[in-house]
């Protein structure tokens, strides 16, 4: 007997995902779901497929397969066809967007990159030409899938199309190798007012955002085919001639995703450096070949004179070599971040906030009359607080430390007449606290290693 798991919607996305509280660009999402009156349409499809089965096997089919299995086989065939139609549309849109990048930006950027008066380094034109290879590769795959769909039937094979597609994906290795160069080059071009002005004149006011979107487009493309193969296997009977082929294709595509995972993550972190640099006013952080953006989130900077205050919200941005914090400009039309400062990761001490200190963060200052309230209010469960802090030696104290604060001795003078400067950050969850503390600790360890090795150099 065939098993069946109902899934009425299949989605294959051309988007790239990011985590760690950074902004994402959702490039496209193709969803193939049930439409009004789809039930009757599905029923007619099932009948057509059943007719095909009878045409192949004749009336003898009823002697070795019961009618329920025939109907279920028909539904599986229809479901697989629906999955492949969704992939077709996603693939076509991906190709169209790659073409749009070629049409709108490639020639324009190449001209600026070749202008020796504007760029001093060797221009990464190979990366731009690589988009031609991507387009050609995906056109061939789209055509192969379309050819199979034109002769779709119960015994149709598709695993060989995916397996033949695998060797052509080497074009993505070229894409990743040139990614760092194009990111740095675009950062330098963005610093030229004439480039930005001409780009907006040629392609419209959203040209800069569109350009970044296209540059990021191919980073997570391989996951699309993994998702598709998972659905195809779900709707393929283990006795089907294509079942093992589909499983082998899935294993191969998962290996590709795993092999390119490190390169993909690194490219995405580099992309986010460029993306964030466009939104920060007066940022001293340059986009370089080695700098990567690791984490970005909005947290509360604890007011040391009023620990429970939640008004001081900053955006913290952690790179692989420094940590900066910014304030929103408050504009709804043109949202920008105003650079406010940085924390010295090479010399600072990092530690999580203690339970006693976290308890102080959620305390509220009650007026005198509040003591007359009922006892029921006193047993109300208080919200939890989490966070971490940096302690840095400095000749001046910019944040005064209240005398009743735990570990207040950290503010005393040292033998070198320096003070311990305290920067306290309150996170929203314990998971955020752990993620940031663990990641910052690794960056600090790396910074200290670099500092020590430079000292001996």
Q: 85-100 pLDDT, tens per residue?
A: 999 999 999 999 999 9
Q: Is residue 29 in a domain?
A: yes
pLDDT value at position 307?
Answer: 86
- The domain spanning residue 339 has which CATH number? 2.30.29.30
The Cα 186–Cα 287 span in angstroms is 9
Q: Is residue 288 in a domain?
A: no
Q: Among 253, 278, 303, give the residue marking a domain's end.
A: 278
**Exposed/middle/buried for residue 431 (C-beta within 10 Å: 0-12, 13-18, 19+):** exposed
Q: Among 278, 303, 324, give the residue marking a domain's end.
A: 278
Q: Which of 50-59, 295-304, 341-350, 413-422 is predicted with the least confidence, judged by mean pLDDT?
A: 50-59
Cβ proximity of 439 and 318 under 8 Å? yes
- For residues 269 and 75, the model is more confident at 269
Q: Is residue 384 in a domain?
A: yes
How many whole angstroms from its chain centre is CA 165?
Answer: 25
Residue whose C-alpha is closest to residue 71's, from 109, 45, 97, 89: 45
The Cα 6–Cα 374 span in angstroms is 54
The Cα 224–Cα 203 span in angstroms is 29
Are 83 and 153 in a shared domain?
yes
How would you label 244-259 residue by residue, b for 16+ Cβ within 10 Å and e otherwise? ebbbebbebbbebbee
- For residues 292 and 175, the model is more confident at 292
The Cα 53–Cα 374 span in angstroms is 76
- The domain spanning residue 58 has which CATH number? 1.20.900.10
- For residues 105 and 399, the model is more confident at 105
3-state secondary structure of 243: helix
Are 24 and 69 in a shared domain?
yes
Are 274 and 173 in a shared domain?
yes
Q: Is residue 3 in a domain?
A: no
pLDDT exceeds cutoff 60 at 21: no
Residue whose C-alpha is closest to residue 125's, from 103, 105, 99: 105
Query: How confident is residue 370, by pLDDT bands cut at 50, 70 and 90?
Result: low
Cβ proximity of 144 and 213 under 8 Å? no
pLDDT exceeds cutoff 70 at 37: no
- Residues 394-429 have pLDDT tens digits of 543 333 344 344 443 344 444 444 556 899 999 999
DSSP label at 313? Answer: E
Q: Which of 38-42, 259-263, 303-307, 383-387 is predicted with the least confidence, judged by mean pLDDT?
A: 38-42
pLDDT exceeds cutoff 50 at 24: no
- For residues 212 and 331, the model is more confident at 212
Are 309 and 227 in a shared domain?
no
Please name the helix (run of DSSP H) or strand (run of DSSP E) that holds residue 40, with its range, or none.
Answer: helix 38-57
pLDDT exceeds cutoff 60 at 321: yes
Q: What values do phi and psi take at 421, rounded to 5?
A: -90, 135
Are 321 and 221 in a shared domain?
no
Are 303 and 170 in a shared domain?
no
> For 330, left (φ over 0), alpha (ψ -120 to 50), or beta?
left
Q: Is residue 436 in a domain?
A: yes
The Cα 12–Cα 31 span in angstroms is 7
Write out the residue range of the structural domain in which residue 103 sits: 10-278
Are 107 and 211 in a shared domain?
yes
pLDDT exceeds cutoff 60 at 309: yes
pLDDT exceeds cutoff 60 at 303: yes
Q: What is the Cα Rg of the chain in Å?
A: 29
3-state secondary structure of 408: helix
Highest mean pLDDT among 61-70, 327-336, 440-449: 440-449
Q: Is residue 423 in a domain?
A: yes
Q: Is residue 285 in a domain?
A: no
Query: How confident is residue 39, by pLDDT bands cut at 50, 70 and 90?
Result: very low
Are 310 and 204 in a shared domain?
no
Query: How confident is residue 313, by pLDDT bands cut at 50, 70 and 90?
Result: very high
Total tally of structural domains belonging to the chain: 2
């Amino acid at each position: 007997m065939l098993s069946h798991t109902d899934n009425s919607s299949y989605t294959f996305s051309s988007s790239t995902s990011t985590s760690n509280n950074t902004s994402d660009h959702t490039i496209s999402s193709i969803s193939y779901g049930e439409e009004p009156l789809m039930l009757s349409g599905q029923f007619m499809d099932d009948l057509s497929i059943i007719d095909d089965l009878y045409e192949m096997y004749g009336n003898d089919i009823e002697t070795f397969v019961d009618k329920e299995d025939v109907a279920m086989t028909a539904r599986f065939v229809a479901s697989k066809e629906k999955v492949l139609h969704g992939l077709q549309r996603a693939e076509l849109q991906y190709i169209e967007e790659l073409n749009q990048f070629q049409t709108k930006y490639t020639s324009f950027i190449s001209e600026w990159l070749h202008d020796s008066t504007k760029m001093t380094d060797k221009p990464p034109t190979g990366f731009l030409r690589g988009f031609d290879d991507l387009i050609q590769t995906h056109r061939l795959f789209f055509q192969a899938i379309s050819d199979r769909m034109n002769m779709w039937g119960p015994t149709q094979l598709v695993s060989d199309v995916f397996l033949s597609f695998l060797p052509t994906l080497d074009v993505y290795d070229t894409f990743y190798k040139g990614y760092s160069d194009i990111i740095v080059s675009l950062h330098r071009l963005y610093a030229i007012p004439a480039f930005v002005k001409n780009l907006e004149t040629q392609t419209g006011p959203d040209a800069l955002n569109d350009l970044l979107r296209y540059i990021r487009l191919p980073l997570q493309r391989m996951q699309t085919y993994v998702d598709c193969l998972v659905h195809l296997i779900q709707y393929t009977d283990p006795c089907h001639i294509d079942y093992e082929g589909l499983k082998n294709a899935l294993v191969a595509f998962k290996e590709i995703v795993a092999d390119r995972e490190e390169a993909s993550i690194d490219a995405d972190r580099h992309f986010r450096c460029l993306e964030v640099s466009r939104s920060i006013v007066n940022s001293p952080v340059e986009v370089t070949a080695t700098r990567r953006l690791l984490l970005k989130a909005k947290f509360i900077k604890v007011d040391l004179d009023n620990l429970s205050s939640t008004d001081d919200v900053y955006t913290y941005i952690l790179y692989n070599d420094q940590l900066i914090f910014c304030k929103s400009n408050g504009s709804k039309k043109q949202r920008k971040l105003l650079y406010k400062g940085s924390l010295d990761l090479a010399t600072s001490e990092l530690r999580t906030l203690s339970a006693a200190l976290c308890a102080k963060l959620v305390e509220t200052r009650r007026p005198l009359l509040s003591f007359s309230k009922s006892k029921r209010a006193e047993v109300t469960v208080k919200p939890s607080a989490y966070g971490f802090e940096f302690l840095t030696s400095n000749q001046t104290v910019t944040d005064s430390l209240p005398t009743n604060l735990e570990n207040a001795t950290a503010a005393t003078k040292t033998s070198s007449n320096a003070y311990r400067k305290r920067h306290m950050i309150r996170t929203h969850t314990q998971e955020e606290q752990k993620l940031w503390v663990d990641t910052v600790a690794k960056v600090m360890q790396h910074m200290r290693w670099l500092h020590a090795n430079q000292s001996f150099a």
